[in-house]
Amino acid sequence: FFFFKQKTAYEISACLVGSEMCIRDRRRVHGDSLIFHRVIKSFMVQTGDPNGDGTGGESIWGGEFEDEFHPSLKHDKPFTVSMANAGPGTNGSQFFITTTPCPWLDNKHTVFGRVIKGMDVIQDIENVKIDKNDKPLMDVKIITIKIQQ
């Protein structure tokens, strides 16, 4: 990943590397404990929920945090990394990676990075078998993650 947004990037990087700040239900959450809980072909793959079902993911900032839109950061390419939310100002820990350009998401979801290596892995995730709720039939886990600054 290449990160763009300050608060958003700190949220995701803290949770993915298992920072003390990213504790859920008295247990530390690491990137390697997360699954991709939502996969929609020709759209995106989503993760970041410690519950693994799309219902969880409190921010390290305590609850939800504001959007961080910037006019130069768009969903204009595949492999854009963006915050999942339930409307304005509802960012938590969930995020998604697009697999196609998604301009309708601009100024609705905070873009904070791009995948710069491993696009084939994202495409493999995009092609797993899913149930009627877009959840993979078998867990697709983040095994390890390394964030470079």
CA distance 133 to 142: 20
3 is catalytic: no
User: Which one is catalytic: 38, 75, 91, 114?
Assistant: 38
CA distance 145 to 16: 7
User: Which one is catalytic: 65, 109, 112, 114?
Assistant: 109
Whether 6 contacts 14, CB under 8 Å = no
User: Which one is catalytic: 16, 34, 73, 105?
Assistant: 105
105 is catalytic: yes
CA distance 52 to 93: 12
38 is catalytic: yes
| β-sheet with 2-3: strand ranges across | 2-3, 111-114, 80-83, 95-98, 44-47, 38-40
DSSP characters for 67-134? ----TT--S-STTEEEE--SSTT-B-S-EEEESS--GGGTTTS-EEEE--S-HHHHHHHHTS-B-TTS
User: Which one is catalytic: 1, 73, 75, 85?
Assistant: 85
* Catalytically annotated residues: 38, 43, 46, 85, 96, 105, 109
